[in-house]
Structure 1
Amino acid sequence: MPRGGKKGHKGRGKQFSNPEEIDRQMRVQREMEAAGAEKGSGSESEEESSSDDDSNRKRSGVEGLIEIENPNRVSQKNKKVAELDVEAPKELSRREREEIEKQKSKERYMKLHLEGKTDQARADLARLAIIKKQREDAAKKRDELKKDAEEAKGKR
């Protein structure tokens, strides 16, 4: 059941910032940082101060006061098509690696099995040898019985 019972949650609606207000605040912040950079050290080049502006601009609210190293908060950087390396070796996922490993081990086993080097192959070959011998014995018995039956007919 939603918060607030059957009628739903009675809370404030979301308030969105005005884009012009955000732009104004950003300009004021840049001006303050530029003024602070001029007072702090006059030997700083424009490249260094612009990189400081970028790092301070990204931090807003409490983040500017406290340095946080959160490994889970990673900003995704979009790569350009020119930067993509298509021919680079693609890293396989764990499942893909395990699947490939499983296939290779199966192939290895089948190769050894066909050569007769595995326990199961030896057991199969022994079983086949026993069956062949039984069939040969049965064939010999049948031949002997036929010969005996022919001799018995010939004597009558």
Structure 2
Amino acid sequence: NCLAGKKGHKGRGKQFSNPEEIDRQMRAQREMEENGGAEKGSSSESEEESSSDDEKRSGVEGLIEIENPNRVSQKNKKVAEVDVSAPRELSRREREEIEKQKSKERYMKLHLEGKTEQARADLARLAIIKKQREEAAKKRDELRKGKKIVRWYTQPQVSHVTPSGCL
């Protein structure tokens, strides 16, 4: 037996409700509803709606009470309170994203104008490459001209010789 000496629960015993205790609580709740129902009948409708809203929470919200002080609940605003013309506040992520895009655009504009260090380095590199290519082109031209001259001097001068060897 692998589970010998081990307990199946985490440190506390299971607690069962006493049936008499449940019956007593149910009776007390019914009495409260009967007494509270007569009092609520004379009160205004708006009070009933607000108390029923507290009782009628949908889903898990009604079952679990949240005690997180850091939780910010979204408060529904009435249509009269909402100001449509006011600019909507952006979240931190949205602000950072917009700021990042603007800085990227500024950098690209400066880069195209040649005002950034990287652009200057690129332009200097391109100028060096351009000079090297021009020098190489000049050398090729000189070599071609030199080869033409050399060919002209080294070509055998062909005289008109008849096949019999006589002129």
Identity of aligned residues (%): 67
Indicate the structure whose relative CO is greater, using CA pairs within 8 Å and at least 6 residues apart: 1
Partner of 1:32: none
For residues 74 and 135 of structure 1, the distance between their equivalents in structure 2, rounded to whole angstroms, comes to 67
Unaligned runs of 5+ in 1: 29-53, 59-70
Structure ID, larger Rg: 2
For residues 135 and 106 of structure 2, the distance between their equivalents in structure 1, rounded to whole angstroms, comes to 37
Number of aligned residue pairs: give it.
117
1:127 pairs with 2:131: no
Partner of 1:67: none
For residues 116 and 80 of structure 2, the distance between their equivalents in structure 1, rounded to whole angstroms, comes to 52
Change (3 A) 1:23 1:77: farther
Partner of 2:15: 11
Q: TM-score, normalised by structure 1?
A: 0.56
Q: CA RMSD for the aligned pairs?
A: 4.2
For residues 20 and 10 of structure 1, the distance between their equivalents in structure 2, rounded to whole angstroms, comes to 31
Unaligned runs of 5+ in 2: 1-6, 40-49, 55-68, 155-167
Change (3 A) 1:140 1:9: farther
Q: After TM superposition, where is structure 1 displaced by more than 4 Å over at least 4 residues in a row?
A: 12-17, 25-28, 71-76
For residues 109 and 86 of structure 1, the distance between their equivalents in structure 2, rounded to whole angstroms, comes to 35
Greater per-residue helix proportion: 1
For residues 23 and 86 of structure 1, the distance between their equivalents in structure 2, rounded to whole angstroms, comes to 47
Q: Deviations over 1:46-72 (max 9, x none)?
A: xxxxxxxx9xxx9xxxxxxxxxxxx75
